Amino acid sequence: MAEISKTYENDFDSLTYAKNYVSTGKKEYQWYAEDFYHHLFKSVNNMENQSLIDVGCGPALRAPLIASRYGCRVYCADISKQNRDFLQNWLKNGHEAYDFTDQFKYVAQLEGKNDIEYLEERVKKSVKEVVFCNILAENPLHPLPFEQFDVVTSSLLLECFPNEEDYLKGAEGLASLIRPGGFLAFTSTLGGTKYIVGDHVLPLSSVDAGKATRAFTRAGLKVLQINQHFKETTRELSDIIVTSSRVRHQAMSITLLTKDIMTDDSKSALVSFIKCVDFAAKKHKTQRRKDPERTPYINHPIGVAKFLVDCKVYDPVVLEAAILHDTVEDTDTTFDEIEREFGEKIANIVYEVSDDKTLSKEQRKEMQIELAKDASTEAKLVKLADKLYNLKDLLRVTPVGWSPQRVQEYFVWAGKVVDNLRGTNAELEAELDEVFKKFRMISMEN
């Protein structure tokens, strides 16, 4: 695989490829891929504002062009520097930037629009970054931090891995980028034997639906739908796939390769989480929040867990600790009971985030500030989400019996706690910064 990567680096001509296979010339596959993504994304519930990474994008816009219609946050990813530079130059309106007008015209026709300039600006707004990606690496996005996405797309990628082991590892690399509950949309060609990069003839993996299904199933995905498209052509498909002069050219799309979250481990985690929510709901059943609506108290720990998920914290231990974080402090629950029902690790996190009720209120507040900086990462995450929920609630409505001064004092104190928790989760901290900013603006207006 290293030799193939070096060949791409030295000899792959992004401009020649784009001219021949993206906008003009032999563009049947380009149109096929765009048709596929157009119809797929239309059929997906809640496609709006999802994060999407197009892996092995090459010097082309396939899924990103279609995904931009839904306001997706798109990342174009490729191992080849010249392909990344090619797209980056277009995004920045650089010197001799490539003209994708043919693509925009085709997609405009699919969408029933005719404003080509609007489509181009829409895509440029949607694409957030062009990044390096090597799906055979432990962290495919290195040197960037590892990240997962709601949607992963890939076209004409795994065929380049003729070695069976690399093909399977490549499928696992793609799967690793999918966020739980997300999906992979994958398109490929079938039946080829080799392709050309510069003066090099490279072997092409012999892919069929069965092989792809086995590879992705092994990677922990569930294949929901496979489409195969057959087109007879009398033209030799040289430069990409070298075959006989008359072939039955095949393209394949595997739609909605979703993470199978119902493995034995995930079933166990789901059962434990539901048990945890049920436990907390029973413990808090007579309690209400202090807002004028007297909201059921259980809304708070559930909301804390939701903020964690919104900020990409998926560790079941952290989420269960978030659900349970007030049970010892505010009900008759004991730490021994938590450990017996949910394990020592969760009990320890709940212990870290619980106040010592034998201390005065002022002492408890000081202890929260002091202990925050030395808390475990898991406890810090729960504390950040807890503060975020409470502060957002204070912006929404003033608790019964609270004066403006008490609200002000709570924000000041919470800010000190949060300062000692920083460096734990950038998204939670950014949300908190926004809340503090809004409160300062409201205070200035009053």
Residues 92 and 134 in one domain: yes
- H helical segments located in 253-298: 264-283
Closest C-alpha to 150, from 72, 58, 60: 72
Beta-strand pair 149-155/51-55:
parallel
Confirm whether 284 is domain-assigned.
yes
Confirm whether 151 is domain-assigned.
yes
Indicate if 265 belongs to the active site.
Answer: no
Residues 153 and 200 in one domain: yes
d(CA 52, CA 276): 32
Q: pLDDT tens for residues 182-194?
A: 888 887 766 556 6
As given in the structure block, the two tokens for residue 174 are 């793609």
R_g of the chain, CA atoms, integer Å: 27
Q: Which of the following is catalytic: 329, 341, 355, 427?
A: 329
Indicate if 239 belongs to the active site.
Answer: no
Q: Which of the following is catalytic: 208, 330, 337, 355?
A: 330
* Per-residue burial over 181-214, b = 16 or more CB atoms within 10 Å of its CB, e = otherwise: ebbbbbbbbbbbeebebeeeebebbebebebbbe
Q: Spell out, as residue ranges, where the chain has pLDDT lower than 70.
A: 1-11, 23-29, 189-209, 224-267, 446
d(CA 397, CA 308): 22
Domain span holding position 131: 1-234+245-261
Closest C-alpha to 382, from 346, 358, 342: 346
Residues 206 and 316 in one domain: no
Whether residue 184 contacts residue 174, with contact meaning beta carbons closer than 8 Å, is answered with yes
Confirm whether 240 is domain-assigned.
no
Residues 207 and 271 in one domain: no
The residues that bridge with 132 in the sheet, in sequence order, are 78
DSSP 3-state of 248:
strand
Identify the CATH number of the domain in which residue 114 sits. 3.40.50.150
* Confidence (pLDDT) at 256: 46
Give the single-character DSSP code of 354. Answer: S
pTM over 0.85: no
Confirm whether 239 is domain-assigned.
no
State which amino acid sits at residue 4.
I
Residues 286 and 257 in one domain: no
Confirm whether 293 is domain-assigned.
yes
Confirm whether 112 is domain-assigned.
yes
Residues 249 and 363 in one domain: no
Residues 166 and 20 in one domain: yes
DSSP 3-state of 166:
helix
Whether residue 325 contacts residue 347, with contact meaning beta carbons closer than 8 Å, is answered with no
Closest C-alpha to 153, from 123, 180, 176, 184: 184
Residues 163 and 289 in one domain: no
Question: In degrees rounded to 5, what are phi and psi of residue 267?
Answer: -60, -45
Confirm whether 198 is domain-assigned.
yes
Residues 17 and 55 in one domain: yes
Residues 230 and 288 in one domain: no
Confirm whether 324 is domain-assigned.
yes
d(CA 55, CA 57): 5
In total, the chain counts a number of residues equal to 446
d(CA 173, CA 141): 10
Whether residue 149 contacts residue 52, with contact meaning beta carbons closer than 8 Å, is answered with yes
Residues 135 and 14 in one domain: yes
Residues 271 and 229 in one domain: no
Number of compact structural domains in the chain: 2
d(CA 221, CA 227): 17
Identify the CATH number of the domain in which residue 338 sits. 1.10.3210.10
Whether residue 32 contacts residue 39, with contact meaning beta carbons closer than 8 Å, is answered with no
Whether residue 185 contacts residue 67, with contact meaning beta carbons closer than 8 Å, is answered with no
d(CA 47, CA 33): 18
